[in-house]
Structure 1
Amino acid sequence: MRKIAIALVSATALLAGPALEARTKMTPDQELAKLLAGREAGTPRSCISQHDARDIRVIDGTALVFGWGNTIWVNVPRNARDVDSDDVLFTRNYGGQFCSLDIVQTLDRSSHMFNGSISLGEFVPYRRIKAAK
């Protein structure tokens, strides 16, 4: 009986692997839309503080999303096609802010060699929409 139980568990594990891989991966546009669901855009700003940019999410070929909580900031770089989540972002900022026209260098995650740069655009705040009572 124990051998049958082990065989069933093993078979289930083997069959579950391909099923998990078969899930379709979201496109970058879908991923961004999911992040922005339930939020509305505010007035774009040229700069945001480092405090607002603590958490950075990279949406491949599309945008950088800064922050968390009630307000997130979306930045579509001028060369957005070069945005790659496999790269490490390297910034040098002065004055405690990230601003449009700042240059973010990218490093290859495995070799740690510089492999490009991204020119930031304006920062658009997206705030959660308060539910009606």
Structure 2
Amino acid sequence: MKKIALSLIALAGMALVSGPSIARDRLTGQERLARMLEGRVAGKPQSCVNTRVYSDSQIIDGTALVYGHGKTIWVNIPANPEDLRRHDILLVRQFGPELCRQDIVTLLDNASGIFKGSISLGDFVPYTRVK
């Protein structure tokens, strides 16, 4: 009987731990982006961003690409953002240190490496944390 009670307690604990991650996975791309931008203020859109400085990138499902971390992040909403999936591989043909508006990014399936399509980048909007 003790083993059953301990097992139930352990299962309940695991449910509590995994609960928030399940809810996080159910957020839409727009909701995820909104959470990332909480406490940040949008700056003037730029046509290019230096990827040596902002090399971290994140795909927000069906919504945007986010570059950088920390105080300032750069959000890019490409043409046909609905094609973006969190686990896609981005193949960027970059000529120099900058990634710019209208650059073409090829999307590959993460599991198979098969070509999924291409997107054309939009403006890069900086979002800076406010104190």
Answer yes or no: same fold by TM over 0.5.
yes
Cα distance in 1 for residues equivalent to 2:91 and 2:50: 17
Give the greater-gyration-radius structure (CA): 1
- Tell me which amino acid in the other structure corresponds to 1:33: A
SS of the aligned residue for 1:53 comes to coil
Partner of 2:71: 70
Structure 1 residue ranges without an equivalent (≥5): none
Which amino acid letter does the alignment assign opposite residue 56 of structure 1?
A: S
8 Å contact kept, 1:48–1:99: yes
Give the equivalent residue in structure 1 for 2:40. 39
Q: CA deviation at 1:13?
A: 3.5
**Structure 2 match to 1:82:** 83
> TM-score scaled by structure 2?
0.86
CA distance in 2, matches of 1:13, 1:27: 31
Instruction: Report the Cα distance in structure 2 between the residues aligned to 1:40 and 1:21, rounded to whole angstroms.
Output: 31
Q: Structure 1, residues 63-85: CA drift from partner, whole Å, max 9, x if none?
A: 00100011100000011111111
**Runs of at least 5 residues in structure 2 that lack an aligned partner in the other structure:** none
What is the DSSP-based 3-state SS (H/G/I as helix, E as strand, rest coil) of the residue aligned with 1:52? Answer: coil
Query: How far apart are 1:15 and its partner, in Å?
Result: 4.2
Please give the alpha-carbon distance, in whole angstroms, between the structure 1 residues aligned to 2:4 and 2:51. Answer: 54
CA distance in 2, matches of 1:12, 1:115: 45
Q: How many residues align?
A: 127
The residue that corresponds to 1:128 in the other structure is: 129
Amino acid at match of 2:113: H
Q: Aligned match of 2:6 in 2, 6, 9? A: 9
* Paired AA for residue 58 in structure 1: I
What is the rounded CA distance, in whole Å, between the counterparts of 1:93 and 1:14 in structure 2? 49
Q: Report if the CA contact (8 A) 1:52-1:66 is conserved.
A: no
Give % identity.
Answer: 44
